[in-house]
A and B are shown apart, each in its own frame.
Chain A
Amino acid sequence: MTALRDTATRLSDQFLAALNQNDVAGMSQIVAPGYVQHNPEVPGGREGLLSWMASMHIAFPDFMVERLDMIVDADRLVVRHRVSGTHLGEFLGWPGSGRSFVMHTAEFFRIADGVLQEHWDVWSPQGMLVQLGLPVEGGLFTTFG
């Protein structure tokens, strides 16, 4: 169990470091090529995660994700994140507005072979859009699930 927790902690640390710096090489080291993505707003696979990460840094140059806490159970972990950013570049087709968002999310991962293999999350698309002053009607985001 300790070894599993160590692996989970290391992967979470590396995930956050890579995500916050838009570090393609760092992210590629810890995410399986066939990464299964259950968030419908993010393209599938490792390549999809990398392109989403890049787009977030364009839209929110100060994009920042911090870990609040973590639960580890066998081959899975769930991390609560505090996510924030200021909308300065294009996001979903909308030009930067200077408005910012802060939200808490829960990120679930499955680990195998020492890397992240699968991802589910819980977050609020509408809450993010409201904070950014973007329209919440009309389905820019699909319903998450």
Chain B
Amino acid sequence: MVRTDTPDRQQLIDLLHVFVRVTNGHDAQSLGLCIADQYRQHNPYAAQDLSGVIDYFVMMFTAFPDMHAELLDVMVDGDVISARCRVRGTHQADFLGFAATGRQFEIITVDYFRYRDGLFVEHWDVISVLELLVQLGVSPHESQQFLSTAKLNPSEEEEK
């Protein structure tokens, strides 16, 4: 990746707050305010590009109409920012083929974003889909079976 200059710390923090405001507002169509069209995803279950992020959040907001992320901690290192969040939601519609259970999940996640020219262009995370499925009451067997078939980025290592 070619970097023209090192961004100002506050630019990254401000953009993260845009991302949190847009996602907590369930306004998936506004994600282009903070995510680049050619967004590179390193999570093996995440689709590439802005369109993939929009599709993901539309799916999450449908399945979990009360989904909310609480920003716990932010760190900045050059052109990369990390966000530690507590994410909660209630399962009220189909999620990855699993019918609504009415159960709540609460997970802690970490996202790293790389910043360039006013947008986030690259993303890594620590998030456990397995944790989420188990909290929703999906059986361990079904959860593992799902994860074994759901990879979108086969080149990335599976986050179990």
By a beta-carbon cutoff of 8 Å, the part of chain A in contact with chain B is 69, 71-73, 76, 78, 80, 82, 101-106, 108, 120, 122-127, 129-131, 133, 136, 143-145
Contacts and interface: CB of A to CB of B under 8 A. Distances in A.
Given A73-B76, A108-B73, A144-B108, A127 B86 contact: no
Nearest to A125: B131
A75 B110 CA distance: 19
Interface string B84-114: 1010000000000000000000111110100
B84 A122 contact: yes
B131 A78 contact: no
Contacts of B106: 143
The 10 A-B residue pairs with the shortest CB-CB distance in the complex, in nearest-first order = A124-B128, A127-B130, A124-B131, A73-B75, A106-B110, A126-B134, A71-B77, A130-B140, A106-B126, A127-B128
Instruction: Give the secondary structure class of A's interface.
Output: strand
A120 B110 CA distance: 12
Instruction: Give the secondary structure class of B's interface.
Output: strand
B24 interface: no
A126 B75 CA distance: 27
Q: How large is the interface on B (under 10, 10 to 19, 20 to 34, 35 or more residues)?
A: 20 to 34
Nearest to B129: A127
Interface in B118-160: 124, 126, 128, 130-131, 134-135, 140, 143-144, 157-160
Given A104-B159, A105-B126, 13 more contacts: A69-B112, A69-B124, A73-B77, A80-B112, A80-B126, A104-B160, A120-B84, A122-B108, A123-B126, A126-B134, A130-B143, A133-B140, A143-B106
Nearest to A134: B140
B82 A71 contact: yes
Contact of B75 (A76, A102, A122, A127): A76
A145 B110 CA distance: 12
A136 B126 CA distance: 20
B80 interface: yes
B77 A126 contact: no
Contact of A78 (B75, B107, B143): B75
Contacts of A104: 126, 157, 159-160
